[in-house]
C-alpha cells in the first residue's frame, strides 16, 4: 500500500522547473509539454526581452549555454538576449545541446508558451529574469498575460498563474499592473521584512537549502505561501514536504509526482 501519500499534503504544488528540464532542454515548448505529461501542477519559465522588444523564454542573460548562437552568428559580438532580434533568435537551435532528439527546438516566445498551457489544468509560474536590464518589461508581460491568458481563460483557471522575480521592486510594479494575480518574491526575504511584503506579495520562494521549518512557519504566519527551488532528489523533496512548504520547484516533476502518488 502507498505509504508516502498519507504524509504529503494533498494541495502540495509540483512545479516543473524551466519545464521538465531534467528530461528536455530548459525553457523550450518540449520541456513545458513534458512537464504537463509528467503531472506537474505548474510549469516554471524564465522570460527576457529581445533587442526588438519581444518577450522570449531564456534563463541566462546570454544565449551561449543553451543555444548554438556562436555557430550561427560567429561575428555577433554580444551574445546577450538583448542584443538579438526575435528573427535572429528564431534561427537558433535551443535543443540540440541537450540531446540529438531535441534538434530543431526553438527559443519560444511568451505568447507561444502561454498557448501551451492555456485552457488546460496546468498552471504557470512565470519568472521575469533580471528585469533591471529590461525597463518596462513588467508592463509588456502584464499586457500579454491579460490578452493571452487571463481574458481567454475559463473560470477557475486564472488563479493558476503566479508571477515571480528575484527583483522585488519589479514585482511591486507588476502587482500594481496585475492586482488580482499572485506575485512571488524569489530568494529569502529576511524574517523581519516578511510582514511588510505581505501587504501585497503572495509567495516567498527561496532556495531550499536556505530555509528551515521555522522560516516556513513565519511565512505562513504572515499569510503567504512558500515554494522552494530547485529540489531534485527524492530525499530532499521529502525533507521539504516535512517542513510544510506549499510548493516544490523541481527539474524532476515525475519524481515528485511519484512521491505525491505514494509510489
The residues that are catalytic are 17, 59
Task: Return the closest-CA partner of residue 88 out of 74, 103, 102.
Answer: 74
Considering only 44, 138, 202, 246, the residue that binds ligand G3P (CB under 6 A) is 44
Q: How far apart are CA 112 and CA 172, in angstroms?
A: 26
| 106 is a contact residue toward ligand G3P (CB under 6 A) | no
| 246 is a contact residue toward ligand G3P (CB under 6 A) | no
Q: How far apart are CA 14 and CA 3, in angstroms?
A: 19
Site for Ca ion in 32-71 (CB under 5 A): 46
Q: How far apart are CA 118 and CA 125, in angstroms?
A: 13
Query: Phi and psi at residue 45, in whole multiples of 5°?
Result: -135, 160
Considering only 17, 41, 173, 183, the residue that binds ligand G3P (CB under 6 A) is 17
Site for ligand G3P in 56-75 (CB under 6 A): 59
Closest to ligand G3P by CB, 46 or 167: 46
Site for Ca ion in 123-142 (CB under 5 A): 127
Q: Which three cell numbers stand for residue 220?
A: 505562513
Tell how strand 225-228 and strand 123-128 pair up.
unpaired
Q: Which three cell numbers stand for residue 72?
A: 550561427
Q: Which does 173 bind (CB under 5 to 8 A by kind): Ca ion, ligand G3P, none?
A: none
Nearest-approach distance from CB 41 to Ca ion, in angstroms: 16
Nearest-approach distance from CB 43 to Ca ion, in angstroms: 11
Nearest-approach distance from CB 162 to ligand G3P, in angstroms: 10
Q: How far apart are CA 257 and CA 250, in angstroms?
A: 11
Q: Which three cell numbers stand for residue 202?
A: 503572495
- Contact present, 120 and 86 (Cβ < 8 Å): no
| 229 is a contact residue toward ligand G3P (CB under 6 A) | yes
Q: How far apart are CA 219 and CA 12, in angstroms?
A: 16
Nearest residue to ligand G3P by CB is 229
Closest to ligand G3P by CB, 93 or 127: 127
Q: By the criterion CB under 6 A, which residues form the site for ligand G3P? A: 17, 44, 46, 59, 127, 186, 205, 229-230, 249
Amino acid at each position: 500500500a502507498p505509504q508516502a501519500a498519507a504524509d504529503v499534503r494533498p494541495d502540495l504544488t509540483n512545479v516543473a522547473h524551466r519545464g521538465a528540464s531534467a528530461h528536455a532542454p530548459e525553457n523550450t515548448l518540449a520541456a513545458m509539454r513534458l512537464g504537463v505529461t509528467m503531472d506537474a501542477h505548474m510549469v516554471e519559465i524564465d522570460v527576457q526581452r529581445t533587442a526588438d522588444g519581444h518577450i522570449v523564454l531564456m534563463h541566462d542573460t546570454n544565449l551561449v549555454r543553451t543555444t548554438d548562437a556562436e555557430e550561427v552568428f560567429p561575428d555577433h559580438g554580444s551574445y546577450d538576449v538583448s542584443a538579438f532580434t526575435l528573427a535572429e533568435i528564431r534561427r537558433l537551435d535551443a535543443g540540440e545541446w541537450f540531446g540529438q532528439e531535441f534538434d530543431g527546438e526553438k527559443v519560444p516566445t511568451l505568447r507561444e508558451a502561454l498557448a501551451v498551457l492555456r485552457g488546460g489544468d496546468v498552471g504557470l509560474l512565470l519568472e521575469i529574469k533580471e528585469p533591471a536590464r529590461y525597463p518596462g518589461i513588467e508592463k509588456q508581460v502584464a499586457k500579454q498575460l491579460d490578452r493571452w491568458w487571463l481574458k481567454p481563460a475559463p473560470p477557475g483557471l486564472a488563479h493558476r498563474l503566479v508571477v515571480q522575480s528575484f527583483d522585488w521592486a519589479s514585482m511591486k510594479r507588476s502587482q500594481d499592473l496585475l492586482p488580482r494575480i499572485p506575485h512571488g518574491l524569489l530568494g529569502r526575504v529576511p524574517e523581519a521584512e516578511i510582514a511588510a511584503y505581505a501587504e501585497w506579495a503572495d509567495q516567498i520562494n527561496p532556495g531550499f537549502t536556505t530555509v528551515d521549518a521555522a522560516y516556513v512557519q513565519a511565512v505562513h504566519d504572515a499569510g503567504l505561501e512558500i515554494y522552494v527551488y530547485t529540489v531534485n532528489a527524492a530525499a530532499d523533496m521529502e525533507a521539504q514536504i516535512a517542513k510544510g512548504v506549499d510548493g516544490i520547484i523541481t527539474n524532476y516533476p515525475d519524481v515528485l509526482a511519484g512521491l505525491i502518488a505514494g509510489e
